[in-house]
Amino acid sequence: MKIGVGAIFVGSIESFCFGGKWSNWSNCEIADGSQCGAGVRKRSKFCGFGSNSEEEAVACEKGMHAWSEWSNCCSEADRQKNIRLRNRGSNCGVEVIEYDEQICTWIPFNPSRTRHPCDDFRNGRRESG
């Protein structure tokens, strides 16, 4: 079975069924039983008679906290962006911080926004929002 971004269907096209109800997604599981790292979540659908069923699998990250809120618009190398982050849970033993960003528009005439270096947000010196 291949695992990647998005859903992966397992089986031949002839075995796909219509109708039926999908099970709930499983917890994120790692093949070697580890508590942290890249894993897989699965769900299945029983299609009725015989052994016809479908299974979907999606990649997941076990041990990561939810994403923070997006930061205010910040500047970095003449680009404006919002940043958010998440980190691993304390049970993982290693501090890993993951960053995500999106482009934003800084409005210089809006007094409620001030331009801050993005590193201020990464280092916790400015509030997000």
Pair 12, 35 in one domain: yes
Q: Which residue has the higher pLDDT, 26 or 11?
A: 26
**What's the whole-model pTM score?**
0.47
What letter does residue 88 receive in the DSSP assignment? B
pLDDT one-digit tens code per residue, 101-114: 999 876 665 555 55
Kindly indicate the confidence band of residue 91, based on its pLDDT and cuts at 50, 70 and 90. confident
Establish if 127 belongs to a structural domain.
no
Establish if 3 belongs to a structural domain.
no
Helix (H, G, I), strand (E, B) or coil at 28: coil
The whole domain housing 17 covers 8-62
Q: Are 70 and 82 in contact (CB under 8 A)?
A: yes
**pLDDT for 12 beyond 50:** no
Tell me the average pLDDT of the chain: 74
Average pLDDT over residues 26-49: 87
